[in-house]
Structure 1
Amino acid sequence: MRVVLGLLLLLLGLCGSGTQGEERGLGELKSRIDQLEREDAVQATELRSLETRLTATESKTSDLEKENADLQTRLSSTESRIDQLERENAVQATELRSLETRLTATESKTSDLEKKNADLQTRLSSTETELLVSKSRIEQLERENAEKPKVAFYTALTDTGYVGPHNTDTTLKYSKVFTNIGNAYNPATGFFTAPVKGVYYLQFTVCGNHTGLMGVFVFKNNQKIMFNVEWKEDKLYKYFTKSVVLELIAGDTIHLVLPSTYSVYDDVDNHSTFSGSLLFPL
């Protein structure tokens, strides 16, 4: 198109210039035409190149637009997923802080419990050691106790009522035997005989039930070691109780004697009693 326009302009110029320059004008025209043809050829080549590049560019642009649309879709999806993840992360962050608080409290409590457990373990070990020592001591005491003599008796005088008064001193024979561990008391004689050397606890209760004197002597072997007496003026029950702690050797005897003219009383209710036991051997 540019070549045609150029030729037309050139012809117009030539027409206006006259005959004199016909030959010169034809030469210039030919030269101009050649130049325009070359330019046209170059421009055609450039045009084809541009068209090719345009086609490629348009194709690439179309591809890029499609890719961009796809990327936009993926971006929207990614942004949506990011929003969702951010919300989830916010929730998890809250839960995490809560868990961290609970964990801190739990770790503190665990530390306290570990200290308490360690203390309890120490105390338990100490207690177990003490128990072992105590058990050993108990077993030793049990062995010692098993080896020790066991002496204890409890008796009452009679079921017949009054005993005495007599014209002479009379040994009281406590005939109702309720306890006689070690068989140290003899109801036939009224004597308690120490089976081993030791310290003994002895006790007696005397009851009176009529006007007059009531009392007993306490004899160790043949030696009087105690005398107890009461005067009774009515017919109501009257009592006194005495006890002694004596060191006796094996074979020593203890018995109670009713003085002459004195009386005591006993019946099925066991008002007058005599008892004793070994506190510990020596």
Structure 2
Amino acid sequence: MEFRALLLLSLLGFLFVEPGFGQRGDMDINQWMESKEKLIKNLQDKVKDVERQQDDVEALEARLNATVDELKRQKAEMDTMKKENEGLKTRLNASEREIEKLKQSIGNAAPQVAFSASLANSGEIYRGPCTDKTLVFKRIFSNTGNAYNENTGIFTAPLNGLYYFSFSTYGYNSHVMGAILMKNAVHQISTYDAPTADGSDTSSNAVVLQLAAGDKVHMELWDNGRVFDNLNGHTTFSGFLLFPM
């Protein structure tokens, strides 16, 4: 409103100082007033137009201010997201390093070692009595790591660690039935049944041994001993690495 009043006063000032006004005594006063009223109305309309434009400018300025505020808010959110993404990237890089370490650890992990075998790989077999008392288990069920030699019957430790071994023996009453688990040619544990009146005997045993790389483990018969096996797998020998040391 102040703008409008100042504009009207300025225009009216120009209006009433029109040059030569005092010299127009012959002009009809009514015509002159009508012309001036039209001029004033026109000026008022222009003032209204200017005020509307000013309102439009103010509205535009308000929208611009709102847009600036929104852009500032979005920038703040983007900065926050950028920091969060940097944090995620840092954690991702750390996870990738851990995964790589695990891969390297797995790649450098101790070899998997396990075997299981029975005495007979076909038909029926009686082993013993004999001078070479070593039992060679020919029917291989598994031999992960190839630490067991099916030609010699000897298991050779590929690395230092704790190993679990188990075995079972089966035989008839005509001879001593059983076997001895040997570590580097030293008696460790055994199964044993003397000749009896019953028809057959079976037994089993197990042990955990601490072995150094290169130590050898195998099974031997007792003196005058005999065992029996067929494809049913009565006489067996198994072992595996528990963990390296």
Instruction: Give TM-score, length-normalised by structure 2.
Output: 0.54
The code of the aligned residue for 1:265 comes to: F
CA distance in 2, matches of 1:248, 1:188: 22
Give the counterpart of 2:152 among 174, 189, 205.
189
**1:144 is paired with a residue of what secondary structure?**
helix
1:204–1:272 Cα change, 3 Å: same
**1:229 is paired with a residue of what secondary structure?**
coil
Instruction: Report whether the alignment pairs 1:216 with 2:179.
Output: yes
Contact 1:164 1:261 in 2 (8 A): no
**1:206 is paired with a residue of what secondary structure?**
strand
**1:230 is paired with a residue of what secondary structure?**
coil
Give the counterpart of 1:207 among 152, 155, 170.
170
Flag structure 1 segments of 5+ consecutive residues without an equivalent.
Answer: 1-128
Instruction: Report whether the alignment pairs 1:235 with 2:199.
Output: yes
Instruction: Report whether the alignment pairs 1:176 with 2:144.
Output: no
1:141–1:207 Cα change, 3 Å: farther
1:233–1:250 Cα change, 3 Å: same
**2:192 is paired with a residue of what secondary structure?**
strand
Alignment of 1:1-282 (within 5 A): 143-146=104-107, 147-158=109-120, 159-168=122-131, 170-231=133-194, 232-236=196-200, 238-282=201-245
The code of the aligned residue for 1:260 comes to: D
Identity of aligned residues (%): 37
1:208–1:247 Cα change, 3 Å: same
CA distance in 2, matches of 1:173, 1:279: 23
Measured after TM superposition, the shift of residue 208 of structure 1 is 1.6
The code of the aligned residue for 1:190 comes to: G
Measured after TM superposition, the shift of residue 184 of structure 1 is 0.2
Contact 1:212 1:233 in 2 (8 A): no
Give CA deviations for 1:94-135 in whole Å, capped at 9, x if unaligned: xxxxxxxxxxxxxxxxxxxxxxxxxxxxxxxxxxx9xx98x9
**1:212 is paired with a residue of what secondary structure?**
coil
Please tell me the root mean square deviation across aligned C-alpha atoms, in Å: 2.6
Flag structure 2 segments of 5+ consecutive residues without an equivalent.
Answer: 1-90
Contact 2:190 2:205 in 1 (8 A): no
Measured after TM superposition, the shift of residue 234 of structure 1 is 2.4
In our comparison, the structure showing a higher alpha carbon Rg is 1
The code of the aligned residue for 2:214 comes to: G
Instruction: Give TM-score, length-normalised by structure 1.
Output: 0.48
The code of the aligned residue for 1:144 comes to: S
Measured after TM superposition, the shift of residue 168 of structure 1 is 2.9
Contact 1:211 1:234 in 2 (8 A): no
**2:105 is paired with a residue of what secondary structure?**
helix
1:175–1:153 Cα change, 3 Å: same
The code of the aligned residue for 2:161 comes to: G
Aligned length: 150
Give the helix-richer structure, 1 or 2: 1
Contact 1:169 1:260 in 2 (8 A): no
